[in-house]
A and B are shown apart, each in its own frame.
Chain A
Amino acid sequence: MNEAGDIKRIMERFGRQIRLCLPGDTQSEAFGAFVQPLRYKNKMYLGGVNTRIGFNREGYYLYLGPPEHDLTDLPDGAFLAQGDETFTIDRAEKVYFCDEVSHIWAIIRSIVE
């Protein structure tokens, strides 16, 4: 039994269909990944923050995706897309099971132009 394979099958079955977009209009095939609103321990900024250059909605999401799409080593300008929604990648880490990467963990944010 391959734990990484099990996780990937769960993602494909229950996750959202995500595309990884690179600079130059290169897109990956759609793959299953979990993208859910990040739960805040500190609820002080749930309403967003008004800054001098605009309102920061602070829409953070937790991403759990397959290791084949490594978000930890992407060029500047790469982003995730699901339908019309696009997400920029704030932080990404590999999660290991023994010595094997089981999935990618990341904090992503909705892109606002």
Chain B
Amino acid sequence: MSAISAMPSAVAQWLSEQEPLSGIQFLTEYPARNKAVPLRHATVAVGLTSVEITDQFEENDDGVLTRQEYCRSAAIRLRLGIHVPFSDGGSRCHEIFTLVLDMLTFASDLNLRASGCKEVSAHRDTDAYVMEAWADVAADFCPAESTGLVLGSFLPKDMLCGSHIGNEEIHLSAEQKARLDTPFRTGTYYGTGAASQSVELGTRPAAVFVAALQMPPVHPNFSAGSSQVYFGFAAAGGGGMGIELTSSGFRLRSGSSYTLGTTSPGLNAMGTQYVYFALV
């Protein structure tokens, strides 16, 4: 059942659960069952007159109206067919109209913009006084969010385009789109001289490049007979000397454990500024 087809039955079910409306029967229009003969109770048939879905526009930071890619607006006209047994009199139609619209307007989360009714008439086929009422409901559609059918702006927000939005083979998810907009991170950090320093990116990167500013990749110290490495790269399979990926960024390490011969890692040298490029 789609969200549109579920709306009349959801409204009818909700109204039938409201204590002030006890004694009134609520159903969806043209139910697949026989009409009660004779009509003993007031009966309200809930249906849809029209549904209009339009693009939604919002102002961006520059005050320019831009079309929302995921959110659309819906204008829905609910139809309420109020049927009252002849013995109750036609004025009962107005009483029921007042009760029902009061509940929908003030007790539900529906965003009712307008409501109204037509004249009362005697209807031979239903053996009832009949009055048609209507209520205009406004709702938002935003597939990234979803709500239960609780009569808020309650239409599940992946309706209509749910099959498209939910198809990850042809449509990017919000997370994928965010990653496409910012596929990499860049930044700088200062060395602390400690044995270890972590740089947080908020996510595990796919790969990281690190280099000391204004320094060559390897700097030999001829007098000491040693070299330091000022360039590093790490990916999922591992990293170069003194650099490794973490679940939320990357980590620089130094010390004898990471020295190879006379060459040691220099990616956390005290006071040295480093630049990094991370693929996320």
Q: Give A110 to B104 CA distance when docked, in angstroms.
A: 36
Contact B37 A53 (CB under 8 A): no
A88 touches B125 (CB 8 A): no
Max count, chain A CB within 10 A of own CB: residue among B36, B125, B128: B125
Cβ of A47 < 8 Å from any Cβ of B?
Answer: no
Q: Is the CB of A53 within 8 A of B38?
A: no
Asked whether A112 and B125 contact (CB < 8 A) given A52-B29, A52-B30, A53-B45, the answer is no
Contact A112 B34 (CB under 8 A): yes
Once the chains bind, are A88 and B35 in contact (CB under 8 Å)? no
Tell me which residues across on chain B come within 8 A of A110, comparing CB atoms.
37
B87 touches A76 (CB 8 A): yes
State how many angstroms separate the Cβ of A40 from the closest Cβ of chain B: 15
Across the interface, which residues of B come within 8 angstroms of A112, CB to CB? 34-37
Within 8 Å by CB of A55, from B29, B33, B39, B43, lies B33
Contact B36 A54 (CB under 8 A): yes
Contacting residues, chain B, for A113 (C-beta < 8 A): 36
The reply to whether the CB of B81 lies closer than 8 angstroms to some CB of chain A is yes
Name the distance in Å between B86's Cβ and chain A's nearest Cβ.
Answer: 11
CB of A51 within 8 A of chain B? Answer: yes
Judged by a CB distance under 8 angstroms, whether B27 is at the interface is yes
Please state if B33 and A88 are interface contacts (CB–CB under 8 Å): no
On A, residues with C-beta under 8 Å from B are 49-57, 76, 88, 109-113
A53 to B38, CA, bound (A): 12
Contact flags B23-51 to A (C-beta < 8 A → 1, else 0)? 00001011111111111000101010000
Whether A57 touches B125, Cβ cut-off 8 Å, given contacts A52-B29, A52-B45, A76-B87, is no
Please tell me if B273 contacts chain A, counting CB pairs below 8 Å: no
Let me know if B37 and A51 touch, CB within 8 A: no
CB distance from B227 to the nearest CB of A (A): 88
A54 close to B125 (CB less than 8 A) = no
| Chain A residues with CB under 8 A of B83 | 52-53
Find the residue from A54, A109, A113 having the highest chain B CB count within 10 A: A54
Q: Which 6 A-B pairs have the closest CB atoms?
A: A54-B35, A52-B45, A112-B37, A52-B81, A49-B125, A112-B34
Bound Cα distance from A57 to B36, whole angstroms: 10
